[in-house]
Amino acid sequence: MTAEPLRIDYIIEKHTITEQSETPRIASQWQKVLAECQQQRLGSEERLRLALCSVDYVTSFELPFRLLLIRTPQLIDAIRKELTVHSKLVTINDGKRGTVYSLTSDFAGVPDTFHYKRSGKIRRLTGGDVTTDRYIGIARQTTEPRNRLRLAFTSGLQVTALDALLFFGVQRVAADVSVLRKEGLNIGLRHIDTFDSATQAVRSMPLYFVER
């Protein structure tokens, strides 16, 4: 294991996710949500609640990326204790199953398929040093999220849940780590403080690494 960082900072200069058929109304709703999240420095559950209350419908694919959420399914379950959240199964990005969430039960105007594209410019800082390049390099070698995660571990990288999300496109890192452990990788876990400029929050984050 390499030297343990004390905190990791993510300076998000650009991080966008667009959907092929997104309407101006939905785009405007998301723009307002993201602005308020940053202005108010809302926590994860607060960001999710605001999105559900402000956007006509949201998908399971976009929520982690737009709101930088970790453990989104668990957050949805928590929100359901106070709000009635309706859902609909859809297809996302050519064959993957996903879910649409809405506070209204009328899904008549909601598409059955969604096609997303992501782009971004993110700097990862550890102890003031820029540590972005190796993570971007891994992402360029393969397009499949779990393969990226596997390659990162076998290359000796430590991976936070935000690394997995932002650089590798992994939305449920704990589930993918479980699969990789069953494949034989001896993956350890500890927690580390992280800061990201989008939420303006410092939070404890899972940090995964291969134990030698």
* C-alpha distance from residue 116 to each of 12, 26, 59, 63, 203 (Å): 19, 14, 11, 12, 28
Which domains are seen in the chain, by residue range? 7-11+121-210 (no CATH), 21-114 (1.10.10)
Query: Could you report the average pLDDT of every consecutive run of 10 residues in the chain (212 residues)?
Result: 76 92 95 93 95 97 95 94 96 92 94 94 92 95 95 96 96 95 96 93 93 84
What local confidence, expressed as pLDDT, does residue 25 receive? Answer: 96
Three-state SS for 211? coil
What local confidence, expressed as pLDDT, does residue 212 receive? Answer: 79
- Which residues is 118 bridged to in the sheet? 17
What local confidence, expressed as pLDDT, does residue 3 receive? Answer: 58
**Measuring CA to CA, which residue among 166, 173, 159, 172 is closest to residue 198?**
166
Three-state SS for 24? helix
**Measuring CA to CA, which residue among 34, 16, 198, 27 is closest to residue 118?**
16
pTM of this prediction exceeds 0.75: yes
Torsion sign, CA atoms 44, 191, 161, 75: negative
What local confidence, expressed as pLDDT, does residue 1 receive? Answer: 46
**Directed axis angle between helix 24-40 and helix 44-54, to 10°?**
150
At residue 107, what is the residue type?
F
What local confidence, expressed as pLDDT, does residue 94 receive? Answer: 81
What local confidence, expressed as pLDDT, does residue 156 receive? Answer: 94
